[in-house]
Structure 1
Amino acid sequence: MTTDHLHALLDRYCNLDRLGDDGRRYRTHTRLVRIETGIIRRIPGALRDLGLTGSAPVLLVCDANTRAVAAEDLLARFNEANVAATLVELQPREGHVDLLCDDDLVSRLAQATQQRGAGHLLAVGSGTLNDAAKAAAHELGIQCSVLATAPSMNGFTSGIAAVLSKGVKTTRTSAAPAAVFADPVILAESPYRMIASGLGDLYSKPVSNADWNLSAALLGTLHSDIVMEIVNAGAALLDGVAPRLPSRDPDAVARLTAALMLSGLGMQAAGSSGPASGGEHLISHYIDMTAHAFGETHDFHGCQVAVGTVVTSTLYHELLAIDPSRISIDPLVEAHLDWPAKQALIEARFGPLAPAVIEHARRSWCSRDDLRARIKSLVARWDHITEAVQRTLRAPDDLEQELRSAGCPTRFGEIGVHRDRARRAILHCPDIRARYTILHLAVELQRLEAFADEYVQA
């Protein structure tokens, strides 16, 4: 696919303002996405044309790696174009090797922005730097843009930032980037694990979309054909891409990147990460938060998501095989924990992280009366609900095979997570986010524990 074709597709969903059949307006605020070789030299002019430059300098936000890869070159291009710009290289917290997007990093970046009198933030990097820049820009009430240096995740164009807050990985409203730039040559030269991570993030969509459909069908939460149109446009770009990535094929990398951008635009239009983040992301977030809290291992976000995708697609496969006439409601309601018991369980499971987790779990917990009504609805509307989730689902074996063709991990051991921790990730992660997923349904049907035990032993 040519660059022009990719840009035409991306332009269709930038600056979106469309009225849905539900009477809601679906908007995106990103004005420009460009994926092309040599893009760095065109960024200063593009930002100027968009009215994003002026007397206040553009602040390039980088780390040591992305400074060498692109930020120094980009700063020189701003100087050549007589566009005011300066640079900040973010450093890990004392005692840490890697940057971590947490409240501290966002605060430090906001302070640096104010100290330099910057009027626009331009992240040069991928997940951590992008999230920090969006969160800081939102806090300061200014706009931001990004030069992606690795196709590692789908958050470049989203209006949310993933921030570790009080030990819990949270998503918060942030400044959607005004413009996003990427050079396929730079992207293709990024560490391959980051490329595989991007594919892993996108291959979660069959199950995250199923979770979105499940929540809408069972709980009446938001669902949108407009958002699904954007998501499906990105998914269509991935046909045949996975096996071409290990050779760093530039066209495959460009298509992957465009699909990541479209996924983020879908989140913008939805006003949440719901269309792109389901139970598989909760597993990844659990791995992240326990890694940072207890010094355990973790991997790139999308690699963890890929592992979670195989877990949740397998869980869907098992639950869809249930005969709804055999679901006995009274024992399920009786086994459902009241809130004091649920809170005590969370405290036992999460230790020092419990206070922050409880904030999220309280919002997703339901009473026994509400659970009874929910399961009655599930049984009565089984065919409708299962048809809704199966619109996007794919067989777990097919997903795993395609991920493996790209060298993406699909099992906990491949991301350094041992069996006991893997079991905890599956069992405990539903409590860390107030978003209904197949994991939550499995808890309510009293099936998650047996599934987790069997899965980690396989």
Structure 2
Amino acid sequence: MSLLARTVMTPLAIEVRRGAVADLGPLLADRRISAGGDVAVVVGPGQGEKIVELIRPTLGSADVFTVAGGSVDAALDLGTRLHTRSYDAVVGIGGGRTIDTAKYAATRYGIPMVTVATSLANDGIASPVASLTHDGRKGSYGVHIPIAVVVDLDFVENGPDRQTQAGIGDAVSNLNSVADWELGHRVRGEPIDGLAVTLARTGAEALVNHPGKITDDGFLTTLAEALILGGISMAVCGSSRPASGGDHEISHAIDHLFPGTGSHGEQAGLGALFCTWLRGDLERFGQLARCLHRHGLATTPAELGLSDDQFVEAVEFAPQTRPDRYTILEHLALSASEVRTRLADYAGALRDHLD
């Protein structure tokens, strides 16, 4: 009997623990990524520079590049500098903007990329997507998945709580993204990838049910793993479908209409909660509401800094941000007045579940 299987691109190494950064040099050598430390270390402002000083003795011939990350222009400039020498790998150290800049530049020149995350704000730490601004607008660009992912909980703990809260919102929003994908499969016959669904949902389920706080190592480890699994789920199916549904459409709409409102994860978390209400899944709605509330994330537009009218405008505009995607928002195709009515009902249900 013949056995058929697919090849899945995943990181060679995943390290989530305290003190992981100190072992970066041995990790690169043991995994045959770079035996001699011939790597380009990319850092942004903040903790990245502190980490470089910590690991420099273990990375003999590394070059260090400082970037003001987050834009296509910054990534292209970094790529030009990387092209001046042959590197075994690019090591991106820092938050999401620095890592996405390094991912894009490394992909452009075909160099393996290693993520060293100092925060857990989104699933970009292990995803095949770079979120970068270009001509004043943020876009998503396909890149190679990192060859290794390192998360040092010492540095995550020292970062702002709001970054960790954003990561929680981004990770648990996968529950809605998967539900939207399943809806598209049922209604439009859209192909669905069971492995991608399993990875995205498993990580989010573990997080939403975890009793710990953002100060607990166990909870932070579960958050990191949920974000990593979300990133790998996108690599498995070749799109952002398992981690981006109506929740992300709402977040993109808020960015477009009311820039600077909140972080991506905060907005996606609220978007996921509202979409779950629209879907009528009351058990999941209560579960998500309690999780977001417990960790200090917004569960109402006001807590995010938006009026009800602004949120209604964002929900109505949201499908325009991803015209190719079918979610509960496209399925219901609600008018502004209908969204306003649903939002009023949502507010009442939210009080019932959080009282």
TM range (shorter): 0.7 to 0.9
Note if contact 2:79-2:105 (Cα within 8 Å) is conserved in structure 1: yes
- 1:240 Cα shift? 4.3
- Which of 132, 135, 142 in structure 1 is aligned with 2:111? 142
**Identity over the aligned pairs, expressed in percent?**
27
- 1:118 Cα shift? 3.9
Note if contact 2:103-2:143 (Cα within 8 Å) is conserved in structure 1: yes
Alignment of 1:190-339 (within 5 A): 190-238=159-207, 240-241=209-210, 243-246=211-214, 248-290=215-257, 296-317=259-280
> How many residues matched?
342
- 1:240 and 1:437, CA in 2 relative to 1: closer, same or farther beyond 3 A? closer
CA deviations on 1:6-52 (whole Å, 9 max, x unpaired) are xxxxxxxxxxxx956xxxx3512321111122111211121122232
Alignment of 1:16-31 (within 5 A): 25=6, 27-31=8-12
RMSD: 2.4
Distance across 2 between alignment mates of 1:394 and 1:208: 16
**1:451 matched residue in structure 2:** 338
- 1:181 Cα shift? 0.5
Note if contact 2:177-2:243 (Cα within 8 Å) is conserved in structure 1: yes
Q: Does 1:418 align with 2:307?
A: yes
- Which of 415, 425, 435 in structure 1 is aligned with 2:325? 435
Note if contact 1:297-1:416 (Cα within 8 Å) is conserved in structure 2: no
- 1:207 and 1:233, CA in 2 relative to 1: closer, same or farther beyond 3 A? closer
Alignment of 1:143-158 (within 5 A): 143-158=112-127
**2:146 matched residue in structure 1:** 177
Name the SS of the counterpart of 1:413 in structure 2. helix
- The amino acid that maps onto 1:313 is T
- 1:201 and 1:106, CA in 2 relative to 1: closer, same or farther beyond 3 A? same
- 1:244 and 1:54, CA in 2 relative to 1: closer, same or farther beyond 3 A? closer
- 1:57 Cα shift? 3.2
Name the SS of the counterpart of 1:223 in structure 2. coil
Distance across 1 between alignment mates of 2:173 and 2:331: 18
Alignment of 1:375-390 (within 5 A): none
Q: TM-score, normalised by structure 1?
A: 0.69
- 1:140 Cα shift? 1.4
- The amino acid that maps onto 1:122 is V
Distance across 2 between alignment mates of 1:69 and 1:394: 44
Distance across 2 between alignment mates of 1:204 and 1:271: 19
Name the SS of the counterpart of 2:132 in structure 1. strand
- 1:85 Cα shift? 0.9
- Which of 74, 78, 85 in structure 1 is aligned with 2:55? 74
- 1:69 and 1:450, CA in 2 relative to 1: closer, same or farther beyond 3 A? farther
Name the SS of the counterpart of 1:87 in structure 2. strand
Distance across 2 between alignment mates of 1:62 and 1:168: 23
- 1:283 Cα shift? 1.3
Q: Does 1:88 align with 2:69?
A: no
CA deviations on 1:250-301 (whole Å, 9 max, x unpaired) are 111112111211121111111111011101011112223445xxxx423222
**1:409 matched residue in structure 2:** 298
- The amino acid that maps onto 1:213 is E
Flag the structure with larger Rg. 1
Q: Does 1:131 align with 2:115?
A: no
- 1:77 Cα shift? 3.2
CA deviations on 1:328-375 (whole Å, 9 max, x unpaired) are xxxxxxxxxxxxxxxxxxxxxxxxxxxxxxxxxxxxxxxxxxxxxxxx
- 1:235 Cα shift? 3.3
- The amino acid that maps onto 2:213 is L
Distance across 1 between alignment mates of 2:7 and 2:106: 22
- 1:456 and 1:149, CA in 2 relative to 1: closer, same or farther beyond 3 A? same
- 1:75 and 1:421, CA in 2 relative to 1: closer, same or farther beyond 3 A? farther
- 1:54 Cα shift? 6.0
- The amino acid that maps onto 2:325 is R
- The amino acid that maps onto 2:224 is T
- Which of 35, 39, 50 in structure 1 is aligned with 2:16? 35
- 1:56 and 1:206, CA in 2 relative to 1: closer, same or farther beyond 3 A? closer
- 1:155 and 1:67, CA in 2 relative to 1: closer, same or farther beyond 3 A? closer
Name structure 2 gaps, 5 residues minimum.
348-355
- 1:259 and 1:186, CA in 2 relative to 1: closer, same or farther beyond 3 A? same
Distance across 1 between alignment mates of 2:110 and 2:307: 43
**1:400 matched residue in structure 2:** 289
Distance across 2 between alignment mates of 1:136 and 1:34: 23
CA deviations on 1:282-328 (whole Å, 9 max, x unpaired) are 1112223445xxxx4232221111111122112212xxxxxxxxxxx
Note if contact 1:266-1:275 (Cα within 8 Å) is conserved in structure 2: yes
- 1:255 and 1:398, CA in 2 relative to 1: closer, same or farther beyond 3 A? closer
Note if contact 2:247-2:272 (Cα within 8 Å) is conserved in structure 1: yes
Distance across 2 between alignment mates of 1:210 and 1:308: 13
- 1:300 and 1:76, CA in 2 relative to 1: closer, same or farther beyond 3 A? farther
- 1:229 Cα shift? 2.6
- 1:109 and 1:449, CA in 2 relative to 1: closer, same or farther beyond 3 A? same
